[in-house]
Amino acid sequence: MKPKLPDDLEIAPGYTVGCWKRLKLDPDVPNSDDWEKAVKIFDARIRKRFFHPVDVLIEHQSHSKKTFGFAILAIDFLVIETLQGFREDEIDHKRISEKLFTNFLKQWGAFTACLPGGGDPKKFAGQVYHDYRCALHHSGSTEGALRVGVSGAMFAFKNDHEVKINRTCLHENLKHEFEVYLIDLRNPDRNDLRYNFKKKMDAICGLGSLPKASPN
Closest CA relative to residue 113, chosen from 63, 173, 70: 173
Residue 149 pairs in a beta bridge with 166
Note the pLDDT tens digit of each residue in 64-116: 567 799 999 999 999 999 999 999 989 999 999 999 999 999 999 999 999 99
In a 10 Å sphere around its CB, with 0-12 CB exposed, 13-18 middle and 19+ buried, how is residue 207 labelled? middle
Edge-first strand order for the sheet with 162-166 is: 145-149, 162-166, 155-159
- Asked whether the beta carbons of 167 and 73 are under 8 A apart, the reply is yes
Q: CA angle, corner 81, sides to 73 and 206, nearest 5?
A: 125
Note the pLDDT tens digit of each residue in 173-192: 999 999 999 999 999 999 99
Q: Whole-model pTM?
A: 0.91
- Identify the H or E element spanning 66: none
